[in-house]
Amino acid sequence: MDISSYLAPESCTTELAGRKKDEVIRSLAELIALSPAVGDVNPEDIYRGLMDREAMGSTGFGRGIAIPHCKVEGMRDFALALGISTRGVDFDAMDGRSVHVFCAIVGPPEQPEMHLRLLAAASRVLGTGKSRYEILSSSTAYALREAFLYHSAPATALDSCKDRTFNRLMIVVVQEEEIYNDIIELFLEMGLPGAITHEGSLMGQILSSAPVFAGFMDVLGSSQPEPRTIMALVPADTLDDMISSIEQITGDLDNHRGACIIVLSPDIVRGSLETL
C-alpha cells in the first residue's frame, strides 16, 4: 500500500474552511471530491456519509486530531483529504480539546479491510507528537502532504508481504496499553495476515495470591501491569524494517523497560490464520 496514491495534492490544505463541525465536514467532503477516485460521486453524498458517521460518535480522537471517515456507494477507490484549522474546531473530541488536524477517509463499501488499514495508518501517523508538530508547522499544502507521507513511509513500505514467504515468528510483548494499541495499528496497517494477541499476567501478580510469597512483593514491585503479547509470521527480509518501525513507537528497546521483541525460526509452518 502506497498511501500517496490515495492522497491527491489538491485534497490537502493548510487553510481548512469552517468554524463549526458541519462546516469543516463539508470542506473535507469538497476536498475529497477533487480526487480522481471519486468518479461521479456527488460531494453532497460524501458530506452526508461523513455526517452520518459522526452521528454514531465523534471521530475526534483527542490530542487535536480527527479522522472523519465513511463508505460511499459509487467510489472508484479510496480517497483521503488532509486539512489544518489554525483556529481549531469544537469537534466533540474524546478529550474535549479543539481539533486542528483533520484527515478524512472515504472509500467504497466493498473494501472494509482496506478501510481499516487506512484508518490505522492515519491514526499512527497523527498519533505521535513529532509528526503532529511537523504537520502543523507546514506553511503550504505541498509541505503538509509531504510531512504526512514522510511519517507514513516506514510502515507502508512493507505492504507487499502477502506475496512473500513467511518464515519467522515475531513475538512482541508490551506492558503499556498505549504502546500496545499503536503496535496493533502498525500490524494492521502492514496487512500482516494471522497476527494474534494474548493478554497475560506477570509472575509477581500470580505469586501475590500465594501467602508464602507475600513477603517478597515489595521486591517484585507493587504495580499491576497487564502484559500483552502479539504474534505474527513475517518475512525474514522485513525483520529489520519491522523492528525499526516498532522502535519508533516504543523507543530504543535496548533502553526501554516494559517491552521486548522475540524472533523465532519455526521448523514447520502449515496452514494460515488469515481471516476466513
**Cβ(93)–Cβ(85) under 8 Å?**
no
pTM of full prediction above 0.75: no
**Cβ(99)–Cβ(136) under 8 Å?**
no
pLDDT at 216 over 80: no
pLDDT at 139: 93
Residue range 3-156, CATH number: 3.40.930.10
Tell me the DSSP string of 79-142.
EEEEEEEEEEE----TT-PPEEEEEEEEE-TT-HHHHHHHHHHHHHHHTSHHHHHHHHT--SHH
Phi then psi for residue 42, to 5 deg, are -80, 140
Which residue type occupies 92?
D
Instruction: Point out the catalytic residue in the list 69, 100, 115, 151.
Output: 69
Going by pLDDT thresholds of 50, 70 and 90, the confidence category of residue 257 is confident
Percent of the chain at pLDDT > 90 equals 46
Is 198 annotated as catalytic?
no
Name the nearest CA neighbour of 79 among 11, 126, 125. 11
pLDDT one-digit tens code per residue, 163-205: 456 678 899 999 888 888 888 888 887 777 668 888 876 665 5
pLDDT one-digit tens code per residue, 81-134: 999 999 999 999 988 999 999 999 999 999 888 898 899 889 888 988 888 999
Question: Under CATH, which architecture does the 159-264 domain have?
Answer: 2-Layer Sandwich (3.30)
pLDDT one-digit tens code per residue, 67-86: 999 999 999 999 999 999 99
Report H helices in the chain.
Answer: 21-32, 43-56, 112-126, 129-136, 141-156, 177-190, 203-207, 217-220, 239-250
**Cβ(161)–Cβ(234) under 8 Å?**
yes
The Cα 48–Cα 223 span in angstroms is 47
251 Cβ contact partners less than 8 Å away, ≥ 6 residues apart: none
Domain boundaries, the chain: 3-156, 159-264
The Cα 231–Cα 261 span in angstroms is 10
Rounded to the nearest integer, the mean pLDDT of the chain is 84
